[in-house]
Structure 1
């Protein structure tokens, strides 16, 4: 039995690999890809998503929806210093505008989220791996939206640990803290969070040895993976991490393969929106404090199992080569 999914993403680097899990894993029934302002320029994100769909051999489907192009109340925050264009220069934003790497749906991402979940109430899992602007906007537009979602799975925040954008805040929550606060207060029946600290920096890092191992046979998706992730590997190593970080694909993989999650806990998650010092910080209160829990938080992931799943994904046969999809984009068809 497959799992109906919508992936809400700011497509760059590991977001693209997360999309590949949704597009190619036999457990996934991916119904839409919704784009939110985040990592890199908005149209670049759209192009990156379309190219990822093409790399998965599904470019005949109009899965990609443009969503909110800026945070709810703030200016856009870029992560281009970490990701570059997020796809290794394979495609430019003009290719998305001109339809050269696939077709974008005419339906806005927020409307798609509301419609698809309403059409199958209690069946669709929404996986949010970027800032939560689209999800919060759907909540504001249709207050019944949370009740129609089976599970909301979020990559974001830190479990009372360090951030990656400021000392206290992870990028997705920092980029739109008001949206994150709305989402955690919206009353979704089931919210699952994979945080940056400690899970990503302990379980979601590929060492250079692991990175080289899963990209060693020349399969088409291995080359795609390297194009998307090489820059981030270099940046991560330069700041003292043990390798490249992969929280987004680990999040989607955990939805599709629950055995990845070794341990979760119930927490009350709240987001700081006022303090300049701790803007976007996720306060996660454990049961000791007697507060009503509003989320499950992943506390440990099986790194070896994730590495095996990722290696199998990247070895998928019969897909377009990097040269073929790049040439198609260059020719406009």
Structure 2
């Protein structure tokens, strides 16, 4: 089986940890590089969290330091949801920086993408700053990219502001650049993560998946949603699900635009399923049973693979 070459841009973050863990052990994927960026918490934490996770999982995928702030506006934070370090509920042993490669993320991604014999897929599960810099600095890179899959945007109300989802609100200008890259873009919006929340039974099944399951359970149990919900909402793994199992989802073509000028709507996603210039496929539904079963089995596979 030919594996899908993948580059992950991430801001771990609890659900990012889950998405990376699944991706690193998915038999269908060949993760070429992980690019931690600022996002849920500052770059210092997201970078260390990435290195710590790889040490815990016994993986050796190169890590390249990403952006430490958005393209235009000041950075925001989700530390109230994920904890000060981004991974409340679990403390990894601190890793060294042996997996960290020197160089600018955009340049390192470009070199890796253009050297690949197969077109590379980009997975964006945080603010899209580094992918936007890649496209702006190296516009010819699109010739060797298969698609971009992102967790972000919202069809209805937001979770950062009344109209904006967090990952897009973090860097709206970057999101607009990525969505208008001309590449196939698949979007796992806020609503899909809300629907794919974990039940108590599913949490128990995850906890039973060895050391990896216990690690993820400890983090999931410490998510504190700003809306006061006690549901364990799983956002970023839905993007991995769309990449590997699109049959679990209902995807609809849409014209997606990001609001960049509004006073109270800055960062809002305008998703028009009737728009004339469709530039993305947006997930509007998910089979929650199939998704949860796949997620549990993926965590089992990761636990088996790290030993």
The TM-score, its normalising length taken from structure 1, stands at: 0.85
Matched, 1:212 2:204: yes
The offset of 1:152, in angstroms, is: 0.5
Q: Distance in 2 between matches of 1:122 and 1:73?
A: 33
Aligned equivalents of 1:293, 1:218: Cα separation in 2: 41
Superimposed CA distance per residue, residues 67-95 of structure 1 (whole angstroms, 9 cap, x where no aligned partner): 11100011111100000022235148xx4
1:165-205 superposed Cα distances (whole Å, 9 cap, x missing partner): 101000011011111111222222x11111002x2212x21
Deviations 1:299-322 (A, max 9, x none): 11221112112212222444669x
What's the CA shift for 1:113? 1.9
Q: 1:240 offset after TM fit, Å?
A: 4.6
Residue of structure 2 equivalent to 1:327: none
Aligned 1:1-333 pairs, distance under 5 A: 1=1, 2-58=3-59, 61-84=60-83, 85-87=85-87, 88-91=89-92, 95=94, 99=97, 102-120=98-116, 123-159=119-155, 161-188=156-183, 190-197=184-191, 199-202=192-195, 204-215=196-207, 217=208, 219-232=210-223, 235-236=224-225, 239-241=227-229, 243-261=231-249, 263-287=250-274, 289=275, 291-316=276-301, 317-318=303-304
Asked if structure 1 preserves the Cα contact closer than 8 Å seen for 2:188 and 2:242, the reply is no
- Is the partner of 1:144 in helix, strand or coil? helix
**When the two structures are aligned, how many residues end up with a matched partner?**
303
Structure 1 CA distance for aligned equivalents of residues 159 and 292 of structure 2: 23
For residues 130 and 120 of structure 1, do their structure 2 counterparts lie closer, same or farther at Cα, with a shift above 3 Å needed?
same
SS at match of 2:100: coil
CA RMSD, aligned part only?
2.0
> Cα distance, 1:252 vs. partner?
1.0
The runs of 5 or more residues in structure 1 that have no matched partner are 322-333
Deviation at 1:28, TM superposition (A): 1.2
Q: What do residues 89-119 of structure 1 show as CA deviations (whole Å, max 9, x unaligned)?
A: 5148xx46x53xx531113321222122212
- In the alignment, is the contact (CA less than 8 A) between 1:65 and 1:108 conserved in 2? yes
Cα distance in 1 between the residues matched to 2:283 and 2:202: 23
Distance 1:89 1:27, change over 3 A: same
Structure 2 unaligned segments of length 5 or more: list them.
none
Paired residue secondary structure (1:86): coil
CA distance in 2, matches of 1:122, 1:162: 38
Contact kept, 8 Å, 1:121 with 1:150, in 2: the verdict is no
Q: 1:243 is paired with a residue of what secondary structure?
A: coil
